[in-house]
Amino acid sequence: MNYFKYNILELFDSSQKSYIIPYYQHGYYLKEEIYTAFIDRLIECKQDNNAHYGYILLNTIKKGILYEIIDGRQRITAITILIKSILNILKSRENESLLEDFDFQVKESIYIKNGEKIKFRSISHDISFNDSLTINNKTANTLPFQKSILKAKKYFSKKLNKLSTIEILNLLTKIEKIDIDVIEVVEQN
């Protein structure tokens, strides 16, 4: 077992690295109090240098390439949905001068999808829903627990739309600097 302290950018920033929720995990609700408190604290936070967002427990499938999220899936789901919502809002404002040097493709490849490699995959019965929502911004018929994820994305989008572009860019920077403790289980062969 290894312990690391990463910030969110370090957790995702590898073209090869991706995370999955294993098939044996059950469908889950993204609790409203988790994602509303998360974004509200980020927006209100004037200082971004000691922000901490709990921990995640990973099972290493292939070091530096593929990890199963054993614990912390709500955190990773909320972060992924929030970052995708931020990128959607910024993309809708891409003609603003503040975004001249903003590289949407780089941010998408870090957090959402790099080529054909999806950076975060949910449990097997959730995959098509999550892919549609976080990659293609589409929704289909949803199960009750999937509705909680959709509700989070709608909440984030509504909250973000009220912010100026500079506030959103600052929020993205804050998110990237948030520390998260990572406990990595490495199976011995």
Q: Residue 23 has what pLDDT?
A: 76
Strands 52-62 and 66-71: antiparallel
One-letter amino acid for residue 56 of the chain: I
Residues in the chain: 189
The model carries a pTM of 0.85
Predicted confidence pLDDT, tens digits, the chain (189 residues): 899 999 999 999 878 899 998 877 766 677 788 888 888 888 877 654 567 888 999 999 999 899 999 998 888 888 999 999 999 999 999 999 999 999 999 999 999 999 888 898 876 555 555 555 666 666 655 666 677 888 888 999 999 999 999 999 999 999 999 999 999 998 765
- Report the chain's C-alpha Rg in angstroms: 16
The two three-digit tokens of residue 67, written as one number: 């990890």
Q: Residue 74 has what pLDDT?
A: 83
- Where does residue 169 rank: exposed (0-12), middle (13-18), buried (19+ CB within 10 A)? middle
One-letter amino acid for residue 123 of the chain: I
Q: Residue 21 has what pLDDT?
A: 86
Q: Residue 100 has what pLDDT?
A: 95
Parse the chain into domains and list their residue ranges: 2-186
CA distances 30 to 27, 146, 155, 188, Å, are 10, 8, 12, 33
2-7, strands of its sheet edge to edge: 2-7, 179-186, 52-62, 66-71, 18-20, 120-121
As a dihedral over the C-alpha atoms of residue 21, residue 87, residue 133, residue 69, rounded to 10 degrees, the angle is 0
One-letter amino acid for residue 82 of the chain: L
